[in-house]
Amino acid sequence: MTFTRRATIAFAAATTSLMLLANTAMAESANKQKVRIFYDTFVTGNADLLDQVLAQDWANDPVNPGQGPGRDGFKKLIPGMSATFKNNKFVIEDMVEEGDKVVVRSTYSATQAGPFAGFPSKGRDFKIMTIDIHQFNSDGMVVKTWHLEDWLGGLFQMGAFEK
């Protein structure tokens, strides 16, 4: 079988691209991999995944309404979120690691299936942007998370302020 010069160059370019993608995936740090598990928790509703990611004395800022202290306090919120929001999806748009911190810019989308923040469900889909900073300890566990979500925009999309 004879390859033309153009076919050979295209094959080489495709092979190089695949190798670069594979190396990038393999090169992802353990901290970034753990952060992905953190977001998987919300999609699967499996709060036990947080045991792999969050230190027992983990803290977040700001604290979520009704949240108890530490990892266990946060885990108790997951079933309620799973009941309130269906078709959960987190898309990690950017993930940057610097020192002991991983910063994530993501998009969260879901369908409101139950009451949220005192507003009844209208069954609407919504999409919000989130930014989180996760700080790791020397054992590779997240000890602190700072987070910001566009819940006001989400409430508008859910129809919370409509008459």
Q: In this structure, what token pair is assigned to residue 87?
A: 């078709």
Domain boundaries, the chain: 29-158
Q: Cα separations (Å) of 64 from 34, 117, 128? A: 21, 11, 17
3-state class of 93 per DSSP?
strand
CATH of the structural domain 29-158, one choice from 3.10.450.50, 3.40.47.10, 2.10.60.10, 1.20.1540.10: 3.10.450.50
Q: Do the Cβ atoms of 147 and 60 come closer than 8 Å?
A: yes
pTM for the model stands at 0.82
DSSP bridge partners of 105: 94, 131
Tens digit of pLDDT at every position of the chain (163 positions): 555 666 556 555 556 655 655 555 557 999 999 999 999 999 999 999 999 999 999 999 999 988 999 999 999 999 999 999 999 999 999 999 999 999 999 999 999 999 999 999 999 999 999 999 999 999 999 999 999 999 999 999 999 999 8
How many Cβ atoms sit within 10 Å of the Cβ of residue 93? 12
| First-last CA distance in the chain | 71
| pLDDT at site 163 | 84
| pLDDT at site 114 | 97
| pLDDT at site 125 | 98
Whether cis (ω within 30° of 0) applies to the bond prior to 62 is: yes
